[in-house]
Structure 1
Amino acid sequence: MDTHTLKHALLAGTGGFIAILLLAGVSEFGTAALIMAPFGASCVLLFALPEAALSQPRNVIGGHLLTATVGLAFYSLAPNTAVFASLAVGLAISLMVLTKTTHPPAGANPLLFFLAAKPLGAWFLLTPVASGAILLVLLATLYHRATGKFSYPVKR
């Protein structure tokens, strides 16, 4: 393994560690939850592949909000049904493609509503979805500027 690859791997891992630690810390000691499992996968893109189109703020924030909204809508229609959970994921993917907000980790968001131990309401769209996604993008921006390795977000 060359030193360039090792440095990139360590920087990406460190960025993900810091971001999740901050989200978890705010969630634990604050009044609002800012963390959800798909954010771990978002960190892979934000810190390992920050120049990818799928990692850009529009995709991260828009993708998470769009797919969570679809999940909430379908869960509201028919909670705990495999068909509606599957339809929600499929529609969420199609809408991300159509709106140019594709962010693969967000594809898991509709399932959160169907798999949660207790029902998730509309408030979930604000916290953790929107606030967490915005904070992740902000942290990635600051991290990449501090490390100087990548330019994030990419101006297209």
Structure 2
Amino acid sequence: MSAQKDHEQHPLFLPLIFVGGLIFGAGLAMSQMARPEVVLAFLQFSDLGLLFVMGGAAAVVGTTIFVASQSGRSAPLTGKRYARRLKSMDRNVMYGGTIFGVGWGLSGICPGAAYASLGIGNAAILYGIVGMFIGAYLQGYLREAKAESMSGQPAD
């Protein structure tokens, strides 16, 4: 079943995604994790509250993934069965993780919390969000240019 058909068959699918985003954002705001100074305090080991927020989230996600993979059901967006996605630890993963970590450390906030931070009035985080978009665009541009140079024709 394609993602498009799934959206047509389930009119509540997109509103549920929106509600999930609202709950996520509210949780970040309530836990103070949408405030860069709190995240920076965690990264400097002076406030370990983020550890409990992340640990609680990991427990919920881990349990959900375990139950979903045991259920034999398919993911609503892709139609694929729930399963572990194994990715090799290659050079791109190491570089990407390093760049992500440096960006997180410099801005004091991860991408998901950056959007929630806007909701609590942190307009200065817009610089970081613009930087994320520029970085993502640049990465896609460089990947496409590399693919074109390797194949000799434009990548789709």
Alignment TM-score, normalising by the size of structure 1: 0.29
Alignment TM-score, normalising by the size of structure 2: 0.29
